[in-house]
Amino acid sequence: MKKSLRAVFIFTILITFVLISTMFIYNKNKVVAQAIDVQSIIVLYFDENPINKEINDKKIVKSQILASKAQKIAINEYNVKLQESKFDEAAKSNESKIDNKNDKVAYLTFDDGPSSVNTMKILEILDEYDVKATFFVLGSMSEKNPEVLLTIHDKGHSIGNHGYSHNYKKIYDNSDSFFKDIDRGENVLKDILGEEFNTKLLRFPGGSFGKKKSPMKELSKQKGYNVVDWNVVIGDAEKKNPSKEYLINRFMETHKNKKNIIILMHDTDAKNSTVEVLPQIIDILLFEGYTIKTLDEE
Ligand SMILES: [Zn+2]
């Protein structure tokens, strides 16, 4: 009885062992199978899965969009460069047109000096702009300010004769008195600037306009003078202490639509607003495309 009980006990243990082992092996296989499934899902997900396809397709579309954007940018840049080069060419051809025509010329002229203060200020402004002007000087004023006359000359500006006295009654009485005054003025200029100094530029005091002055004008031409009047004013002799606005307005209305302009200004010490508006006048001339020259460059 004891022996059979022991055998049953051993048998039961064996059966239990086999059962547990079998269950263990089964479970292990199940895990492996599950692992294989997961792997296949992963493979599917990354390779053939329709969602993955869609993502891939989207990626392709995105990269295509980026490529076309890059292309568009490149085309735009090319067009911009093309336009720039066309613009440069146009600008160059415009420049050459302006150079060829050279049709707008302005002459800055200052009368009745040289004065000790304002002429010097005007010379400084002209230096700043690197432009030259023509000074129609009086003999009487040159005697008072010979250094200023020398400075005008040294800086390379043109000097014209405006007579000695600027006394209308005296000089326009007859041709003899007129040329007496002109010769006196010329002699003062030669005394200061040297005998070799010679100018044929002549501006009649008050201008050469009117019938009364025409015989004197004719004689002047016969004597070889270049009689120079003006066709533009800034109005600095039209009233006492004119405002800057008045001068600019007069300049704007008198030079409008004119290609060759001779501008009448005054460099006496009383004409402070002339000095004040001069930079603005030069700015306007340059902006409007005028070349600023001196009268003996003609
Ligand atoms: Zn004058």
Q: Is the pLDDT of residue 208 over 60?
A: yes
Q: What is the CATH number of domain 105-297?
A: 3.20.20.370
Q: Is the pLDDT of residue 41 over 50?
A: no
pLDDT digit string, tens, across residues 147-174: 999 999 999 999 999 999 999 999 999 9
251/52: higher pLDDT? 251
pLDDT digit string, tens, across residues 85-98: 544 554 554 444 44
In angstroms, the CA 193 to CA 149 distance is 8
Nearest to 192 by CA among 225, 223, 147, 131: 147
Q: Give pLDDT, residue 67.
A: 66
Across the range 96-101, mean pLDDT stands at 48
57 CA → ligand 1 middle, Å: 89
Q: Give the list of residues 6+ apart from residue 157 with CB closer than 8 angstroms, or none.
A: 123, 126, 132, 133, 134, 135, 294
Domain range annotation of the chain: 2-48, 105-297
55/271: higher pLDDT? 271
175 CA → ligand 1 middle, Å: 18
In angstroms, the CA 115 to CA 294 distance is 20
Q: Give pLDDT, residue 95.
A: 47
Nearest to 289 by CA among 95, 43, 10, 62: 95
Q: Give pLDDT, residue 250.
A: 98
162 CA → ligand 1 middle, Å: 7
- Mean pLDDT, the chain, rounded, equals 84
64 CA → ligand 1 middle, Å: 80
Q: Give pLDDT, residue 44.
A: 47
225/45: higher pLDDT? 225
- Cα Rg for the chain, rounded, in angstroms? 50
pLDDT digit string, tens, across residues 62-91: 766 666 666 665 555 645 554 555 445 545
pLDDT digit string, tens, across residues 252-264: 999 999 999 999 9
165 CA → ligand 1 middle, Å: 10
204 CA → ligand 1 middle, Å: 7
Q: Give pLDDT, residue 5.
A: 73
Q: Show the 3-state SS of the chain.
A: CHHHHHHHHHHHHHHHHHHHHHHHHHHHHHHHHHHHHHHHHHHHHHHHCHHHHHHHHHHHHHHHHHHHHHHHHHHHHHHHHHHHHHHHHHHHHHHHHHHHHCCCEEEEEEECCCCCCHHHHHHHHHHHHCCCCEEEECHHHHHHCHHHHHHHHHCCCEEEECCCCCCHHHHCCCHHHHHHHHHHHHHHHHHHHCCCCCCCEECCCCCCCCHHHHHHHHHHHHCCCEECCCCEECCCCCCCCCCHHHHHHHHHHHHCCCCEEEEEEECCCCCHHHHHHHHHHHHHHHHCCCEEECHHHC
Highest mean pLDDT among 95-99, 101-105, 126-130: 126-130
pLDDT digit string, tens, across residues 278-290: 999 999 999 999 9
102 CA → ligand 1 middle, Å: 30
Q: Is the pLDDT of residue 188 over 70?
A: yes
25/180: higher pLDDT? 180
132 CA → ligand 1 middle, Å: 20
Q: Give pLDDT, residue 34.
A: 57
pTM of the predicted protein model: 0.67
202 CA → ligand 1 middle, Å: 11
206 CA → ligand 1 middle, Å: 6
Q: Give the list of residues 6+ apart from residue 165 with CB closer than 8 angstroms, or none.
A: 138, 139, 140, 171, 181, 184
Q: Give pLDDT, residue 145.
A: 98
Length of the chain: 298
Across the range 138-149, mean pLDDT stands at 98
Nearest to 47 by CA among 56, 58, 59: 56
209 CA → ligand 1 middle, Å: 13
Q: Give pLDDT, residue 28.
A: 60
What is the CB neighbour count within 10 angstroms for residue 83?
Answer: 10
Q: Is the pLDDT of residue 113 over 50?
A: yes
pLDDT band (50, 70, 90) for residue 6: confident
In angstroms, the CA 207 to CA 117 distance is 25
- Residue 18 tokens read as 């086999």
